Amino acid sequence: MKIALTSVEKKDVINGTVKIPEKTSYIKKNAFNGLTDLKTITIPKSVKKINRFAFYNCKNLKSIKFCSIPEIGSDAFTGCPVKEVVLNSFLKVNLQTYKDLRYIFITLLLF
């Protein structure tokens, strides 16, 4: 059974982050759209797909940690000033997906 994260609100952001439930299998389009309080996010291993515009215009999102290799829709992180992407394995990303991400520093965490 696929479980979607459909919408996140400002009240869900605690200390600059949102806890995505471990059983979430995908993040829907615009789920985090415009959450200016969001600063960091960890994408759990259960997430297999992040749809287009999922984090669109999260103007303070600086750090993303991927616990697995999800499929990432185009423009998923457009408008996000991400400075750090943390991976625990090799991640191939369509450059268009990150077209607005500037100054990305990648840290590889091999478990």
pLDDT greater at residue 51 or residue 97: 51
Encode burial over 87-108: b for 16+ CB neighbours within 10 A, e otherwise.
Answer: bbeeeebeeebbeebeeeeeee
How far is the C-alpha of 109 from the C-alpha of 49, rounded, in Å? Answer: 21
The yes-or-no verdict on residue 14 having pLDDT over 90 is: yes
pLDDT at 110: 45
Q: What is the pTM of this model?
A: 0.81
To which residue do tokens 């997430």 refer? 47
Q: For residues 70 and 91, is the Cβ–Cβ distance under 8 A?
A: no
- Residue 101: band (very low, low, confident or very high) from pLDDT cuts 50, 70, 90: low
Indicate if the alpha-carbon torsion angle 91, 42, 22, 100 is positive or negative: negative
